[in-house]
Structure 1
Amino acid sequence: MSHAANPDLLNRLKRAQGHLGKIIEMVGEGRDGLQIAQQMQAVIAAIDKTKTLLVTDHIEHHLEEVIGPLPQAMRGELAKLGELAKYL
């Protein structure tokens, strides 16, 4: 299975897609701008977290291709790198 097909990643993207559809409905209904902006911020945050997951998973996948299975301690250190990825 491709690391890009991570079930958690796909679920997060599908949820964000559903929320984005709701935002489009809200705009079409002429809903309050503040409510729309709040929903948009929630989608942006969800996408950012999904991007971090993708980058971390990608790094981990390719590290394992080069050096083999990663010990649990190394995965913890890699998680710290994943946190850094959210600023990319």
Structure 2
Amino acid sequence: MPHENHPAIVRRLKRADGHLQTIIEMIEEDRPCLEIAQQLQAVESAIESAKKALIHDHIGNCLELKTTGSSGRALKEFKLIAKYL
């Protein structure tokens, strides 16, 4: 079953992939290391964001469907704390 947020996650990763290709070109062109490091930080942040979105999507769409009762309350608490991942 596809998750509703997966298309958005794929778009984020495709943008990061394109950005990474640009960074490779920057390195091949001997651009300043500071510029390259800044761009690498941007790609790293984009991938981290995609990872968080995937984890939260999994919690909301997979784990939540499998829990009821006290485990459902535990899941709600877990979802609250997971935003700090």
TM-score range, shorter chain: 0.7 to 0.9
Q: What is aligned with 2:84?
A: 84
1:9 aligns with 2:9: yes
Tell me the CA shift for residue 4 of structure 1: 8.8
The runs of 5 or more residues in structure 2 that have no matched partner are 69-75
- Could you say if the C-alpha distance between residues 5 and 13 of structure 1 is closer, same or farther in structure 2, counting changes exceeding 3 Å? same
Aligned-partner residue type, residue 51 of structure 1: K
The normalised TM-score by structure 2 is 0.77
Written as runs of structure 1 = structure 2, the 5 A alignment for 1:16-35 is 16-35=16-35
Instruction: Please state whether the residue corresponding to 2:46 is helix, strand or coil.
Output: helix
Alignment of 1:32-51 (within 5 A): 32-51=32-51
Give the conservation status (yes or no) of the 8 Å contact 2:5–2:57. no
> Do 2:19 and 2:43's aligned partners in 1 also have CA atoms closer than 8 Å?
yes
Percent identity, aligned pairs only? 44
Deviation, structure 1 residue 67: 4.4
- Post-superposition Cα deviations, 1:5-42, rounded to whole Å, max 9, x if no partner, equal 71110000000000000000000111110000000000
Aligned length: 77
Greater C-alpha Rg: 2
What's the TM-score, normalizing by structure 1?
Answer: 0.74
What residue ranges of structure 1 are gaps of 5+ in the alignment? 69-73
